[in-house]
Amino acid sequence: GALLALNKPAGLPVLGCPGELSLDALLPALRQRLGLPAELHVVKAPARECSGLVLLSSCYHTTKQLQQFFTNARRRGQYPAMYRAVTVGVPMEAEGEISTGLSWQNQDETAMVVPVPAPGRRSLARKEVKSTLTRYRVLGATEGCALLQLQPKTAFPEQLQVHLTLLLCPALGDHKHSSRVGRVLGVPFLLTPEAAPTHTQVLDKELLTRLELSPQQLHHLPLHIHLQELMLP
């Protein structure tokens, strides 16, 4: 009917700055190419840095109804979205939950999302910190990398990236948070955000060879977190 699903590449924003390529800027051309009578609206889409399912609608009533459904589901703790991620490292447990507080923190004049392991009641009440939860399951693993299914039960910017670093298994292509996972004699450990400035993800030579990448090409590697599935009413 009114619904249209697309597969968005990583790096494409939903709403861009004037003159910037964005999903929203492409909608008029898409409508014209498909010969649709009404303009398209974005119902649901992954964040700029993620790839995956984009849900569009050519009916204003349908758009509002579905957006309200997603809002209500999130309030009930039933976030109806499923992601897939490729990680550098394999979780100790085959499935489980990652739960932590998250907040914005300024580092070197840059706003970063950081974990707050034991947030106080006041900070939660003032909404300085938000309690977040993600369920994960390992779908497959080989040679130090894993394919994970992720189901966020809350919504916070960069939640999945931060939660994966807390698992000591950062997402492949995460050039923002992966620096918080250090290694000593091959054993991963967590660094504090203050001790881990952001830099291009570091991969071992074996993995670079398998990816057919040189160290100079690494900063082009996109984030491997993909919105795989949306449940609709």
216 and 121 in a single domain? The answer is yes
Number of domains making up the chain: 2
Q: Are strands 95-107 and 225-230 parallel, antiparallel or unpaired?
A: unpaired
- Pick the more confident residue, 223 or 198: 223
Given a cut of 90, whether residue 192 has pLDDT beyond it is no
Q: Quick one: pLDDT at residue 121? A: 85
Q: What is the mean pLDDT of residues 21-37?
A: 92
- Pick the more confident residue, 99 or 16: 99
pLDDT tens digits for 160-179? 999 999 999 999 999 999 99
Banded model confidence at residue 59, pLDDT cuts 50, 70, 90: very high
For the chain, percent of residues with pLDDT exceeding 90: 70
Domain boundary among 57, 78, 99: 78
Q: Quick one: pLDDT at residue 107? A: 75
Q: How many other C-beta atoms can be found within 10 angstroms of the C-beta atom of residue 24? A: 14
60 and 156 in a single domain? The answer is no
Given a cut of 80, whether residue 224 has pLDDT beyond it is yes
121 and 44 in a single domain? The answer is no
Average pLDDT taken over every residue of the chain: 92
Domain boundary among 49, 78, 107: 78
Q: What is the mean pLDDT of residues 8-26?
A: 91
20 and 38 in a single domain? The answer is yes
Given a cut of 90, whether residue 83 has pLDDT beyond it is yes
Its domain, for residue 64, covers 3-78
Q: Quick one: pLDDT at residue 106? A: 83
For residue 204, the number of C-alpha atoms closer than 13 Å in the C-beta half-sphere is 11
Note whether 88 and 169 are within 8 A (CB). Answer: yes
Banded model confidence at residue 61, pLDDT cuts 50, 70, 90: very high
31: CATH: 3.30.70
How far is the C-alpha of 134 from the C-alpha of 156, rounded, in Å? Answer: 11
The token duo for 62 is 């349908």
pLDDT tens digits for 137-163? 999 999 899 999 999 998 899 999 999
pLDDT tens digits for 106-133? 877 788 899 988 888 888 888 889 999 9
The token duo for 203 is 């991969």
Banded model confidence at residue 233, pLDDT cuts 50, 70, 90: confident
- pTM score, two decimals? 0.92
Residues in the chain: 233
Q: What is the mean pLDDT of residues 48-64?
A: 95
69 and 113 in a single domain? The answer is no
